[in-house]
Amino acid sequence: MRHHGSLTKDDETNQAAWEATRGAMTGAAKWGAFALVAGGCAYAFSPIYRGLTVQFKVYIQMSGMIVGSMIEADKRMVQYEHRVRHQKRMARDMEVWRRYEEDFEKKGTPGVGGEGNVKG
C-alpha cells in the first residue's frame, strides 16, 4: 500500500531507490575500472597526460565513475519500472480472469473455475 508524503513507509519507492543504488555502484565500478585502464594507457603513451596534476587526473577518474554510475542507475531504474509495470499488469489480468471464472461458476458452467467443482 502506498502512503503519500512518507518515503519511509512506501515500499515500492524504497525498492526503486535500492535498485538505483545497486546500479550506481555497479556502474561506478565498471566505468571506474575502464577509466583506470584508460588513465594507465594515457600515462604510458601520452606526455601531455603525464604532465597533468594529480588533482586533475583524479578529477578525470571520478568523472568517468560518475558518468558510469548515472548511466547504470538510469538503466536499472528503467528495467525496474518495466518489471513493476509488468507484474502489476499480470496481477490485474489475473484478477479479471478470476472474476470471469467465478461468474461462469455461478452461472453453472462446470469445470471453469477449477477441477474441484466439476459436476459429474
User: Average pLDDT by consecutive 10-residue portion of the chain (120 residues)?
Assistant: 64 91 96 96 96 96 96 96 95 91 76 55
Tell me the C-alpha distance between 68 and 61, whole Å: 11
Residue 10 has a pLDDT of 82
Cβ(31)–Cβ(67) below 8 Å:
yes
Cβ(64)–Cβ(31) below 8 Å:
yes
3-state secondary structure of 29: helix
**Which helix (H) or strand (E) segment is 60 a member of?**
helix 54-106
Count CB atoms within 10 A of the CB of residue 36. Answer: 13
Tell me, what DSSP letter sits at residue 114? -
Residue 45 has a pLDDT of 96
Residue 106 has a pLDDT of 80
Domain spans, the chain: 10-107
Short-list 89, 70, 88, CA closest to 78:
70
Tell me the C-alpha distance between 105 and 43, whole Å: 75
Kindly state the cell numbers that stand for 68: 558510469
